Structures are given as structure tokens and as C-alpha cells.
Amino acid sequence: MCGIVAAVSTDNVLPILMEGLKRLEYRGYDSAGVALVEAPGKLGRAREVGKVAALERLLTAAPLTGMAGVAHTRWATHGEPSQDNAHPHVSGRVAVVHNGIIENHQALKAELVADGYVFTSATDTEVVAHLVERELKTRGELLAAVDAVVARLEGAYALGVIDADRPDRVVGARHGSPLVVGIAEQGCYLGSDPLALLKVTDRFIYLDDGDLVEATREGCVVHALDAAGRRRPVVREVLRYEHDDMVAGKGEFEHYMLKEIHEQPVAVANALEGRLGSDRVLVEAFGPRARTLLSEARQIHLVACGTSYHAAMVARYWIESLAGVPCQVEIASEYRYRDVAAPPGTLLLTLSQSGETADTLAALRHARKCRPDRYIGALSICNVPGSSLVRESDLSLMTHAGPEIGVASTKAFTTQLTALMLVALGLRQLRGGDEELTARIVHHLRYLPTLLGDTLKLEGEIASLAKRFSDYRHTLFLGRGAQMPIAMEGALKLKEISYIHAEAYAAGELKHGPLALIDASMPVVALAPKDELLEKLKSNLQEVRARGGQLLVFADPESGLEQGDGMTVVKVPGCCRFLAPIAYTVPLQLLAYHVAVARGTDVDQPRNLAKSVTVE
Ligand code: G6P
């Protein structure tokens, strides 16, 4: 999704802007651009379709220098990916970069056209550039002009704006799209994600919705609206960013995704840190309101998108079976637009790696607005401290996965599952569930990082199988019980990065439709841990074999499943049935990764996808 970097400094800011754009590449984008105040009254701009490297080549041929600038990676919403549609958009002395969507752009455009403004792009953003330019004529100061403009904008936005006549400042605005201010000795920076700025600072102010910021070389002033709607300077806390050591680069790995797959033992250990007692989960360590929220919840609505939604689906199996609390799991883009019949005592549990997914945030706001009397509170499970979701929830359980760069989510998912198991056990403890089973699962959780480390040793075996898969056009994934959402996650990983069509089914549903697809050209991946459904699953596998389907089964060593004609079996280290969904995720990630590598796709930045979807 779109990324913003802006800077004002005592030195040329171009290298900082370009480094920032490279650090935002992981979010997914289709064009990039930069604009600088080259001298008082003079703006320089370069834009290019494709990768940041293409923009860099353009700048090598025709360099720009300046001590204030804005830069952007664009993920097309209004208007195709093209040079004209790429940001920054310029109007007179003003250059603007924008994330989000200006919903009333058509009405604003009509007004500007009537006023003589000429549009050169198909974007919604260009109206902002012209509006600021027009306001500057009467208001003189960039901050005042941007203030007047944001009052007229509807939709979601983060903005970075420069004025050629003021080479000493950059103005930013945030409303529904993330924006942070980075503070350093030599200057002040804006970024849609702190990762963009970690090369120059680890000190950040996370802006609130409605904030405007004026950044100069000396620092920044944040202006918020008071209760009467007047702009006032406010003091916002400066926070130190914790995870910079984990973004150093790809290290020995060819892709971020592979690095992140291999980081899972450490990431899961971090997610567990300080949260396990000798034979119970330390609910008090979740935060001050945890005990009340988890005790009072009579029903849980789990709401998320993408991979996070799959984690929510697994959690339903765990929470209902371990704690007996009824759960409803829903995709956020559906939940936000329907009349949800939430019974009194509902706990809203949102899950998001980024904490900035527009639909998930909207679902939280929808629940709060429509039936506040029905919800006892909002708990979020999130990987990004200071994100919008964390700030708007009553309680957040951080996953501590460290920054995830690969668009296809891996360690964020397994740490979400780990946090969800902690929640399930917490709910169980507070309801007086049998302590022996709790203690047993807690014991297994302690060994989970080791188990994941052992599971990663399957990589060589899976990599050689992957070559075979890369020629198929479709794949079916099967699982039962809590492995069914893991099958869905495996299918999602494969389609996201290898572009092979993949679908997942509860194995029991096979005979109700997908069996019609089975023939020798249809590979079927199945998950067979040792649990109460294993024998049922074996019958489903027979149904596939009888029709010539090619099986790849990830199975428990004691499952009794053996290699045979048309059936490849990969033995996954034996584990507790409750934690098997976490362990069985790893071979599916490795399979998708190695199939994608064999097919030569862009693993870390798959086509058309974005890491954090901050628009609807
Ligand atoms: C995008 C990403 C997915 C992610 C989903 C939800 O689609 O490409 O990997 O699962 O958003 O993101 P979130 O940050 O809310 O977990």
C-alpha cells in the first residue's frame, strides 16, 4: 500500500527520502516519486512507474538536491499506475504526497476546474495540491493553508506537503491513515511507517487522527483540534522504537519471507515471554483490564482480514473447546457493514499484524458506535505498538513478532496464534477449568519454540517436493478441526506468492463438491496430526486416492500414514494436539515459498498485493 516519507534537514534530504522509500517497498506499490525544494521558489520533481530502483536511475541521470522534500510509493486506487498519476502532485509552489482516499474529490475537482485549475492526473490526490495552492494565496503560511484544506476533505488520508517558498519546513496531516514524526539532531521526518525512518532515528511521535504537524530542522509542533474545533499546539509523547535490530536486512537469506519463516522460534518465544507461570498463564501480564474483560466476556466476536482472519478461525476451536465461551468469527469488511446481533457481554477481539488495516479499524469503530451497550470492551492482538488499532482498543496483547517485511504474513501469524492460545487458556482459568489440562498445554507452550525449530528442519525435503508442484495450475488443501483454517492459510500463502490457484476445504466437505475436481492433475495437500479426527481424515484421503488425486500429506510420525503410490508423506515432529495448528503452519509456509522460488516470482512483493491495506 502507499507509503510516505518526508524530511527537512540541515543537509540534502534526497538520500534519506530514497532510503525511506526502499524501506517501504515491502508494503507493495506500483510507482514512486519524490519532490524537493531545490532553492527558494524552485521545486524539483521525479516520478517513475515500477520499482524504486527505476526512480533511482532517473535521479542518477538528473539529480535533485534540497533540504526539504516529500516522497511516495503509490499503490493505484484512482487512475492506473503511470508517471502522471504517481505522487508527488504539484500545483504552483506546492507539492503533496497522500495515502488514503479523498472521498469527495469529484465535488472538489469540479469546484477547482470552475476556478481555472487544470488537472494532469486521474488521482483523487491532485485536488489536495490545488486546494493548498489556492489557500496559500490568501493565508500565506503552509500550516494555515493545509489546516483550511483538511477541513474540507472527506475520507481517509495522511498527507506530506512542501511549499517552494518555505524550504525550511514540511507539513503533515493525519486522518484515518497512519503518519509518524521521526525526531533527530539534524532534522525532522515524516513517515507512514516508522520503519521508513529507522536509518535516521529511533524516536517517534505517533500522530492522532485530526493532527497537523509542522516539521522544521529544529523539531516539530503538533496541532490538534480542541473540543470547540479550534487548532491548538499540543505535546505528544516521543516514543523509542524497539525492534530496529530485527530489520537489519535479509542477512543470510535470499528473501525477507524466508528470514521471517526462520525467525519463528525466536518470535514465538518473544510472544510467550513473561506470560507463562509454572502451570498457568499469567493473565495479569496481559494488562490492567485483562482480568475484567476476560472474566466478563459471555461471547466473543473475532474480527480480522487475510491471514489474521485465519488466526481468528483457529482461535474459535481453541476458545470454545478450552473455555466454553461461544465465538463468532468474521471478516472485518463484512462485519463493518452489517447489523451485528451482539448479545450483551460481547467482547470484540480484533486481530491485525499492522494495526492499520482500514476494514479492521472500521469494524472496531462500527461496533463501538452502533451498539456500545452490547460490548464489554475491545481487545486487540497486534504486532505494531502505537498503531491505530492498539490505541483505539481497551486492551492490546502485543505479539512481539518484530517487523514483518514480506507481504505474505508468516511469523505474524504464528505469534498471533500463540497469543490467542494464551487468551484461550486465560479464559479457561478464569472460568475454573480443569487445571491439569491447562498445566499440560502451558508445559507444551514452553517447548513451542523448540518444536518450531525442529519443524524448520523439514525445509530441504519440502524444497525438493516444491519443484514438482511448480508445474501445477491448481492445488487443493484439506484439514479438519483447527487444521481447517491452517489449510486455508496454506492455500492463501501459495496463491499469494506463486500465483497458483489454491483452495482449502474442510476435508469432510470433499464429497459435497470439490471431489469433482480430483484427477491426476490435481495435487491435494492434507494435514494429518495425531488427533481425534485422524481416522476420519484418512477416509477422506482414500476418497482422493481412489480418483487418482496426487496427495502430499504432512503427518504425525505416529499417524500410520506411509509413503505409497500417489501419496507423499512428510513427517512433522510429533506435538500436543492443541499446538499442532502452529507447528503445521511452518511446512505450508515453506512449501509456498519454495514453489514461488521455483516459479521465479517476486516472493517478498507479490504482484497487486500490499502489506498493510489502509484503504477500503
Ligand atoms: C493484507 C496483507 C496480508 C494480511 C492482511 C491483514 O492483505 O497482504 O498479509 O494478512 O492485509 O493485515 P493485518 O495487518 O490487519 O493483519
The C-alpha cell at 295 is 472474566
Nearest ligand 1 atom to alpha carbon 304: 15
Pick from 105-114, 220-229, 506-515, 605-614: least confident: 605-614
Nearest ligand 1 atom to alpha carbon 360: 15
Q: What is the CA(62)–ligand 1 centre distance, in A? A: 37
Q: What is the CA(23)–ligand 1 centre distance, in A? A: 18
Round to whole Å and give the CA distance between 427 and 381.
Answer: 15
| Residue 424, burial from CB neighbour count under 10 angstroms (0-12, 13-18, 19+) | buried
Ligand 1 contact, 407 CB (< 6 A):
yes
**CA proximity to 209, closest of 71, 362, 349:** 362
Q: Is the pLDDT of residue 614 over 90?
A: no
Q: What is 3-241's CATH number?
A: 3.60.20.10
- The residue extents of the domains of the chain are 3-241, 249-446, 456-604
Round to whole Å and give the CA distance between 523 and 491.
Answer: 12
Round to whole Å and give the CA distance between 191 and 72.
Answer: 10
Close Cβ partners of 297 (under 8 Å, ≥ 6 residues apart): 325, 345, 346, 347, 376, 427
What digits encode the pLDDT tens for the residues 506-557?
A: 999 988 988 898 988 889 999 999 999 999 999 999 989 888 889 999 999 9
Of 307, 330, 359, 405, best ligand 1 pocket probe by most atoms within 8 Å of the beta carbon? 307
Q: Is the pLDDT of residue 26 over 80?
A: no
Nearest ligand 1 atom to alpha carbon 407: 8
Ligand 1 contact, 455 CB (< 6 A):
no
Q: Does domain 456-604 have CATH number 3.40.50.300?
A: no
Ligand 1 contact, 307 CB (< 6 A):
yes
Ligand 1 contact, 612 CB (< 6 A):
yes
Q: What is the CA(611)–ligand 1 centre distance, in A? A: 6
Ligand 1 contact, 357 CB (< 6 A):
yes
What digits encode the pLDDT tens for the residues 298-349?
A: 999 999 999 999 999 999 999 999 999 999 999 999 999 999 999 999 999 9
Percentage of the chain beyond pLDDT 90 is 80
Question: What does the DSSP 8-state code read for residue 46?
Answer: E
Ligand 1 contact, 350 CB (< 6 A):
no
Ligand 1 contact, 370 CB (< 6 A):
no
**CA proximity to 555, closest of 536, 542, 539, 568:** 568
Round to whole Å and give the CA distance between 477 and 584.
Answer: 13
Nearest ligand 1 atom to alpha carbon 496: 8
What digits encode the pLDDT tens for the residues 110-155?
A: 999 999 999 999 999 999 999 999 999 999 999 999 999 999 999 8
Of 493, 611, 615, 616, best ligand 1 pocket probe by most atoms within 8 Å of the beta carbon? 611
What digits encode the pLDDT tens for the residues 400-450?
A: 999 899 999 999 999 999 999 999 999 999 999 889 999 999 999 999 999
Nearest ligand 1 atom to alpha carbon 389: 15
Round to whole Å and give the CA distance between 251 and 258.
Answer: 10
Ligand 1 contact, 380 CB (< 6 A):
no
For 359-408, give the DSSP string: HHHHHHHHHHHH-GGGEEEEEEEESSTT-HHHHHSSEEEE-------SSS
Ligand 1 contact, 383 CB (< 6 A):
no
Query: Hey, which bits of 148-260 come out as E strands?
Result: 155-163, 169-175, 180-183, 187-191, 203-206, 212-216, 219-225, 231-234, 239-240
In this structure, the dihedral spanned by the alpha carbons of residues 451, 454, 459 and 460, taken in order and rounded to 10 degrees, is -160
pLDDT at 370 (0 to 100): 84
What digits encode the pLDDT tens for the residues 45-82?
A: 999 999 999 999 999 999 999 999 999 999 888 888 99
Q: Which of 2, 188, 327, 576 is catalytic?
A: 2
Q: Phi and psi dihedrals of 485, rounded to 5?
A: -65, -25
The reply to whether 51 belongs to the active site is no
Report in angstroms the alpha-carbon separations of 306 from 325, 353, 583.
Answer: 24, 10, 20
The reply to whether 259 belongs to the active site is no
Give kind and range of the element (H or E) at residue 76: none
Q: Report the relative pairing of strands 219-225 and 567-571 from DSSP bridges.
A: unpaired
Q: Report the relative pairing of strands 501-506 and 474-479 from DSSP bridges.
A: parallel
pLDDT at 248 (0 to 100): 61
Do residues 37 and 43 lie in contact, with contact meaning Cβ atoms separated by under 8 Å?
yes
pLDDT at 247 (0 to 100): 56
Round to whole Å and give the CA distance between 299 and 469.
Answer: 42
Give the residues across from 91 on adjacent strands.
Answer: 94
Of 612, 614, 615, best ligand 1 pocket probe by most atoms within 8 Å of the beta carbon? 612
Do residues 302 and 327 lie in contact, with contact meaning Cβ atoms separated by under 8 Å?
yes
Domains 3-241 and 249-446 fall in the same CATH topology: no
Round to whole Å and give the CA distance between 603 and 606.
Answer: 6
Ligand 1 contact, 354 CB (< 6 A):
yes
Q: Which class does domain 249-446 fall in?
A: alpha beta
